[in-house]
Structure 1
């Protein structure tokens, strides 16, 4: 029996709505990190499309490194100084939820897949605002990383 699963566009629109409700859209910077081998560029682009479904201007950028100083001066500060009002920047790259870097993001997303799940990094998952399972990239699932 085949289980129904939401399409990528629906899942990412729901995640964008969650971020909008939690942190707003006024020059908001979001970090997307994940397990090795996950397609963070695809997730970031889908999240940008999710924001656009809600009428929010958004764009994605690849992190030049996982250095907090480089990210702050080369990505975050220029985006925040380019204007006022609504706008979201989705920065993607590995190491963006590491200690010392995670404080740059108003909201963050950890991306993982079933393969290698036993090796997942609990420290960054706990730091993430949301967790996304992309085992099936066409039907990603929002995971609830709670202690219930």
Structure 2
């Protein structure tokens, strides 16, 4: 018997709702990082669509580097200083949750897939606000990595 799983749009809208509830949407910057081989651009686009379902203006940007100074100068500072009011920037790229860059994001998402579970980066996953399993990209699952 097939198991029901939420569609990508539903999962991403639920994650967007979580961000809205936890940190708000006033020039909020979200970082998306993940295992090698994960499609971070697709996840970021899905998250942008999730924010838009909630009536929140959002856009995605590829991280030009994992260097904290470059990320701050090229993406974070311009986004936070050129507008006012509600708006979310979703920055995606491998290395965006590296120790130096973690402090740039109001909220963050670590993306992984089943094939890499043995290679989990516990340090990054602990730092992330949430973990998303994209083993089935059409039906991604929010993971709850609690210690219980």
- TM-score, shorter chain, exceeding 0.5: yes
Residue 113 of structure 1 corresponds to 113
Residue 49 of structure 2 corresponds to 49
Q: CA shift at 1:116, angstroms? A: 1.4
Residue 39 of structure 2 corresponds to 39
Q: Could you say what the CA RMSD is over the residues aligned between the two structures, in angstroms?
A: 0.4
Runs of 4+ in structure 1 over 4 Å off? none
Are 1:60 and 2:60 matched, yes or no? Answer: yes
Residue 127 of structure 1 corresponds to 127
Q: 2:124 and 2:31 mapped to 1: Cα distance?
A: 12
Are 1:146 and 2:146 matched, yes or no? Answer: yes
Q: 1:35 and 1:146 mapped to 2: Cα distance?
A: 20
Q: 1:116 and 1:134 mapped to 2: Cα distance?
A: 11
Q: Deviations over 1:68-88 (max 9, x none)?
A: 000001100000011110000
> Aligned residues, how many?
148
Are 1:99 and 2:99 matched, yes or no? Answer: yes
**Stretches of structure 1 lacking an aligned partner (at least 5 in a row):** none
